[in-house]
Structure 1
Amino acid sequence: MTEEPLREVREFLAEFPDTQAVDVIFADLAGVVRGKRYPVADLSRIFGDGLAFPASSFLLDTAGANTDAGGRGFSDGDPDCLAVPIPDTLDRVPWSAQPLAQVLLTCRQRDGQPLFFEPRNVLARVAQGLKSELGLTACVAFELEFYLIDRARGAEGAPQPPFSPATGERDRATQVYGMDQVDAFGTVLTDIVESCRAQGVPTGAISAEYAPGQFEINLRHVEDPLAAADDCVLFKRAVKGVARKYDMQATFMAKPYPGEAGNGMHLHISLFDGQGRNVLDDGQGGISDSFRHALGGLLATLPEAMAFLAPNINSYRRYQPDIFVPIRRSWAEENRSVALRVPLGSGSAKRVEHRMPGADANPYLTLAALLAGMHHGIAHQLDPGPPASGNAATAFDPGLPMRPRRALQRLRRGKLLRDYLGKDYVDLYVQAKEAEYESFEAAITPQEYQWYLLAD
């Protein structure tokens, strides 16, 4: 073992000597956090030798089933890969009653190269190409919406809003930016922020959103896209863990309530050159040519990217007209109805806000697809066309695949994202999601009984 990992382990145990166990975790294709729990006595060995994990863990469906995508799983005997800790991600688990630690893992193939179908490694390849080919580094911030829900389910397993700690009654408030809602759930929200701070995850503003029990907590900009996506994974785990502590649950499901707002995952991205200059700013507070080209690339790759930005069958229920959710290829300054919003800001703060992804999307794959689009646009000097005006979300864009299978077909037939994310990975992703959709569609729903049981 080298001195650096030894020091990280030694310093952590010196600060938290009562730690009993460590969770070794990673996010799979669906963004689900998976891993194992080890006794703390194994911590030095984990950092020194790594761990064996089935490589097919990165191709599981959302329910945890082995999809055997590309013959990886049942067909090839399910071989292991080497999982190693990611430096500087060893932290305590503040919401746990048991003194726990956790550390993020990344995986290698037998030849020592990064496992090509680990989502984090997919992002790493795209980010490296952006830097080596264009000399640019992305600075990224995630904004995530989520619902706090009651642990008890309603009719047919539907979620219910939680009981308000302030009134003792089930929350019915829909006051966007309402401070009463933030105050009512303030203890939970503050605990989430403090838990994130303890893990080095930088959070910012907290706001109540458009539905009962719905909130948004912003993550601050990070100058390393991998670290930003890591923070997103850790944030979602913290939100869910803290919610359980208060006898609630948290969900990042894109559309948990048919009649209420969905959960989005908005990404704010700036691009900096080797001299630390934000190339999206024109030096006078406006958008540069590079910014326009990046917008053009994001719009050009959006049809293929939908399979990553909206990965689940439920994801597409979030897209509806006139609810501040984009449904067209569009861009504009200070307009929340467009797919690509240019917020106020100049200099280092000049950025694009991508508003299409759902909160259920994998942060690594989503960011990889977006950085690929920006690279493509800058490299080929694409024109985004004129900005939208007014409400750009009144009707669906016929050029966007707004159904899950159509999105997979568009990704499979496309060429742009294959060049960036890798043909082999795109094929594996499509196969894994197709297997998931087939499994989902095989189930008979209550509505099928209501409609068809006595129809004949």
Structure 2
Amino acid sequence: MSGNAMKSWLRKNPQVRTIRVAAADLNGQPRGKRVPVRFADKVVESGTRFPVSVLNLDIWGEDIDDSPLVFESGDRDGVLLPTERGFLPMPWLEAPTALLPIWMFREDGRPYEGDPRHALRAVLDRYKAKGLTPVVAVELEFYLIDDSGRSLQVPVSERSGKRRKAAETMSIRALDSFDQFFTDLYDACEEMDIPADTAISEAGLGQFEINLMHSEDALRAADDAWLFKWLVKGLARRHGFAASFMAKPYDDYAGSGLHTHFSVLDENGDNIFDDGGETGTEVLRHAIGGCLDAMADSALIFAPHHNSYDRLVPEAHAPTGICWAYENRTAAVRVPSGDARARRIEHRVAGGDVNPYLMLAVILGAAMNGMEDAIEPPAPITGNAYALDLPRIPVTWVGAMDAFEGSDHIRRIFAPEMIRNFLLTKRQEAHYMEELTETERVEIYLDTV
């Protein structure tokens, strides 16, 4: 959306009273400002400014203690400019409000490499330079939760007034129990131009999944996922309960994932993973090889929080072994069956608590590494991956940090500043999380991630 188009949008929506300008920090938290609508033109034309360190806050919104972005550099400003998305309504707020997504640049106009949206853009530039275009779709799992009491539980049904304490996989009744919420959610997605597709109930207590349609603009797909998480959480509060994408809110039920499907088109619009059959091309295997090679080192992106590792346990509907397979959901990387023209990779490791920009950057970056290096993966597995002797995804937060820090794969995907900032953030969070009880950890993650 051009500057003139943004101004035109505001003129066509005179009901808008205030504006939010917001960028995603490393944890995917929206950081920004509230702006009176009469000053909107200034933001559209010149952007806004706030400290570079704001994109490198911890999960509590605190500065990183030893970050060079704070006192060492004088806590200097970055320049935040509107993304191409332009203005969007914020249907979960009471007053008519518009959101203007922004991203950070340096004073001289260069992208700020510690901005997660720029991290994804840099990976996509590698594809563009080769005449390639990733086509991306995501599936987001989340829980609806009544957090008003001493313990978490499924909310009371908006239709029956009853609280059904049972997991109901693929249950229409479970969806209908929260019909007004889902109706409002789909209406809001239409308003925000988020391509929400199918909804299902999942295996957990009050757990649901919504798929977002595939997009040939991976940056927009990440925007959609980021905005969708924000929308779901905000709209749930309007309905009197919480929605959470935290990886594992209940010990006894499955965690929430954020699965990514992707294929790659060449300059002619042909899918380079499609060989006309069921197995896919050599390039498909090389992309899988790259994903598997970088998987252990990428775990800190896929599982960025203390609670994330409660999800990555055997036989809990989340992958633990580094492997791939055709049409097998116990594998970390799955090649779905179906029309060969849509041959694609499904990457199943990430939790719902990830930053979508960093998640897509590391998946697509690893796949590109594999294609560039012609990495051959091991043979696809068959049967139950949990029962096989496989190399493992890191099982601890600290182990994931160490793998991330020492990785050549990660250095090919992310800029040094991004790697440094993300590690400083996670190490600080790990330090302070050790001082909290499990209840306190759940409280902070419930609303943030």
The interval holding the TM-score normalised by the smaller chain is: over 0.9
Q: Is the 8 A contact 2:2 2:86 kept in 1?
A: no
| Separation in structure 2 between the aligned mates of residue 52 and residue 275 of structure 1, nearest angstrom | 41
How far does the alpha carbon of each residue in 1:266-299 deviate from its partner, in whole angstroms, 9 at most, with x for none? 0011111111011011133531110001001100
Mind listing any 5+ residue stretches in structure 1 that lack a counterpart?
Answer: 448-456
| Aligned mate of 2:105, from 108, 121, 125 | 108
Displacement of 1:401:
1.5
The number of aligned residues is: 440
Alignment of 1:9-408 (within 5 A): 9-10=7-8, 12-68=9-65, 70-132=67-129, 134-154=130-150, 158-394=151-387, 397-408=390-401
Are 1:281 and 1:346, in contact at CA under 8 Å, matched by a contact in 2?
Answer: no
Give the Å deviation of 1:192: 1.1
Deviates more, 1:221-230 or 1:345-354: 345-354
Distance 2:96 2:115 in 1: 29
Q: Is the 8 A contact 2:140 2:209 kept in 1?
A: yes
SS at match of 2:299: helix
Amino acid in structure 2 at the alignment position of 1:126: V
Residue type of the alignment partner of 2:70: G
Superposition RMSD in Å: 1.7
Identity %: 36
For residue 274 of structure 2, what is the amino acid of its counterpart?
A: D
For the 8 Å contact 2:115–2:418, the answer to whether it is kept is no
Per the normalisation by structure 2, the TM-score is: 0.94
Distance 2:392 2:416 in 1: 23
1:8 maps to what in 2? 6
The one-letter amino acid of 2:165's match is R
Q: How far off is 1:28 after superposition?
A: 0.7
Structure 1 counterpart of 2:124, one-letter code: A
Amino acid aligned to 2:53:
S
Distance 1:319 1:394, change over 3 A: farther
CA distance in structure 1 between the partners assigned to 2:438 and 2:351 by the alignment: 24
CA deviations 1:360-409 (Å, max 9, x no partner) are 01101111110111011111111111111111123685543211000010
- Once residues 415 and 24 of structure 1 are traced to their aligned partners in structure 2, the CA distance between those partners, rounded to angstroms, is 35
How many Å separate the matches in 1 of 2:431 and 2:148? 29
Deviation of 1:445 after TM superposition, in Å, equals 6.1
CA distance in 2 between counterparts of 1:295 and 1:47 reads 41
Amino acid at match of 1:127: L
Counterpart AA for 1:163 = V
Cα contact 1:151–1:247 (8 A) shared by 2: no
SS at match of 2:203: coil
The residue type equivalent to 1:5 in the other structure is G
Deviation at 1:317, TM superposition (A): 0.2
- Distance across 2 between alignment mates of 1:37 and 1:396: 53
TM-score (norm 1): 0.93
Q: Secondary structure at the match of 1:253?
A: coil
Q: In the alignment, which residue of structure 1 is the partner of 2:447?
A: none
Runs (5+) with no aligned partner, structure 2: 441-449
Cα deviation, residue 88, structure 1? 2.9
- 8 Å CA contact 1:8, 1:88 repeated in 2: no
Contact 1:120 1:226 survives alignment (8 Å): yes
How far 1:77 sits from its partner (Å)? 2.1
Paired residues of 1:173 and 1:181 also in contact (CA < 8 A): no
Amino acid at match of 1:36: K
